[in-house]
Structure 1
């Protein structure tokens, strides 16, 4: 960092003891904080925060919490900046910053994100880059994430970028179809008071899945408003979910009370991937994020969806699909609730 700052003609000094860099500005001296510890980060303001995260700093790690805690300490100046130095990967602080900018692009109707891969770097050649990639046979994503600026998913992405689209990315005709169609299916993911429960509403055809809305709720009245309008499936058959599923059943919520196993999950994933998912990332932000981050579990021999604690959007979507196997769409049942099986009327 010191060598980098020495190239700046307006640089004055680096104070290692105070972890500060002083640079002359037209109006005042800026302080760039080179913070290394959590205690220092949350105890001092700075005009510019650098985050050197590496390629494996996921949102579940302690360093991510440090990042979240230091963001508010950015000084309210004309030169406030947050700079990330990281390898592109989903489920990282850098990726979340990208998602925030994408939302801002929509709000401001402008372009804020620009990709510059290794071909923009005159000091390196493709042959050398490929030779370096050959040195990392254990990491199939090494070339894509280090040189192609691709947002890789460790373990392998469940959904490719061609499997789902925001409505702003599709043709006017498809967008109109999305606007016109009414939801026919719903899925419920239980979470509790802190995160709130999720009700997702969608409709699907042989070609498309139209995700219409993502509703957070605590009052079962929300489900009462929809259980007669859509075919509703609710998460059940595990100790955490059953406490809410039992309450919903006593409240009179009609629907499918369905448990999970890996075979059922992967069949629903397969059915989703047979279609193109269309959604509005403003209305379904958690689902949009989950589709981008969904990964296979590297520790399993068979294809298995990696379990994440923030997968509420994908969970409601899988419930909303109402699919048991490749032969029929269904209204399923559990041992406790014995809701009768019925073929989905939308199936040809």
Structure 2
């Protein structure tokens, strides 16, 4: 039975944000259909660790039925162990790179873990570790890891030279993949934040206790708070095509919430706005910030005002997810591919003054090349089945 309702998205966000009083949160978990929907949505987006932490902070975990409480704490343990595995792997990578005088930018989940944005660490489940390397160090870093027992998964071994990261490498303990990036974003979103800009502004990583990881033992640097926000939004809405497929990714919206909450006044919202405008992708930024406000009640200096159009889009996205049958990701994925022919995407990819018809022809040529590549085609079906 599907317990998800449209309001479940709002209820989960209320729980994760800590905005509810203990009494109000407990009232949600007294109604079986309601709490089963919240748990189901949290599980689907790898947010259960965060949910359990919120229940514990509200001091109501012990008030739940023994069955529900035990179930949630058992899942939380998986998240705790995962965070420990990632932490151990980051330490190993740091040692490998420092020995060769290689500097890497830790971003996305890796940065959140090192900087203490995710507290406790179990609130963010990480599938892999993402690092950015300067072009002149990328092959060297890859060779360093291969010599130490890291191997490319057979199905991921073929990655185009123009791709924003090399083939993911599985660590010797076989606990996670390490992705070495040339750039923070795929080609489709590259103009929003080119690698030259992030290296120019890369900074030492400061944890939530104010301690800076800039001693001689640390090989990692971090993106500025502003660039972290840009990557979070652009990766979700553009690279992963959440905007075009009308998909609300609760995990990514929650990551954005944690970034905005953690850095507050350190984010240069004018730069955020400018980067998306220059790349003709402001519509994606606008919608993402609107969703953040609607779900997590967080405002920013550039959050759009109440909009019937944006509100309707959010409601349609949630309804589409709720109405979809479990595992029915293929049609949304195809829909995202077809959306690449939309006028705003043609203009963003080929230039504001580019011929729309010529843009369609070029985009069709790209898709023909992708369909002709067995590796790419297999990865598309595997990722969306």
- Scaled by the length of structure 1, what TM-score is found? 0.28
- Scaled by the length of structure 2, what TM-score is found? 0.26
Higher normalized strand content (fraction of residues): 1
In terms of Rg, which structure is larger? 1
Higher normalized helix content (fraction of residues): 2
